[in-house]
Structure 1
């Protein structure tokens, strides 16, 4: 399969692809409105242009649920080494 360099992709198609990368769940009509394109050029799901949709998870919600136990073992156990560590 041959691919066209992005410099040869028409502007309206780049706007459609950029809009899809922001939100691939948009209905065709809304996609066309946001990309300033004709609705007929935005029928991508029906012709299998979109291979898959993914979810971007909010890391702040996830991080709150993660806890970790960290163990540190010094090479030397002299008092000055512990003082330097603190």
Structure 2
């Protein structure tokens, strides 16, 4: 990933951190959607994703447990992407 011309290292770092947390959320969603058995990787991703999802789990109720995970962690992924970009713009 190439940095934009004129971007500081702090901006790139903040944007990258937001992106990495969002990737973690998406990995958790994919593991749930595909029904990955309880492996070390799936458990580790799930344990890391739950506290990073902040207040999003349970914010919107859905009838399906799989759809609930998709909405909860999808909103959290979008939040971390936006937060990383905003912080990069303001502080970088």
TM-score range normalised by the length of the shorter chain: under 0.3
Q: Which structure has the bigger radius of gyration?
A: 1
TM-score by length of 2: 0.25
TM-score by length of 1: 0.26
Q: Which structure would you say has the larger RCO, counting Cα contacts within 8 Å and 6 or more residues apart? A: 2
